[in-house]
Amino acid sequence: MLNKHTLEEQIKLKKQDMYAKARMLGFTHPAVVACSQELDRLLNRYQKLQST
């Protein structure tokens, strides 16, 4: 299981990746949407870790 610090780092990197893709491809491009969904999954895991 990932620890809090590792998840925070992954979230930070995924946000940067998503923003870069959005700037190049536009916010509605499938690659940006997929990246956003991955970020959502990371954030959900982080929130679950915080609540336990």
Q: Tell me the CATH architecture of domain 4-51.
A: Irregular (4.10)
Whole-prediction pTM:
0.90
Q: In this model, does residue 23 exceed pLDDT 70?
A: yes
pLDDT on residue 2: 72
Instruction: Give me the mean pLDDT over the 2-25 stretch.
Output: 96
pLDDT, residue 1, reads 61
Residue 28 reports pLDDT greater than 90: yes
Domain ranges of the chain: 4-51
**Percent of the chain whose pLDDT exceeds 90:** 88
Rounded CA-CA distance 13/33 in Å is 16
With cut-offs at 50, 70 and 90, classify the pLDDT of residue 32: very high
Tally the C-alpha atoms within 13 A of residue 24's C-alpha that lie toward its C-beta: 9
Residues 35, 37: Cα–Cα separation, whole Å: 5
What is the rounded distance in angstroms from the CA atom of residue 32 to the CA atom of residue 52?
A: 31
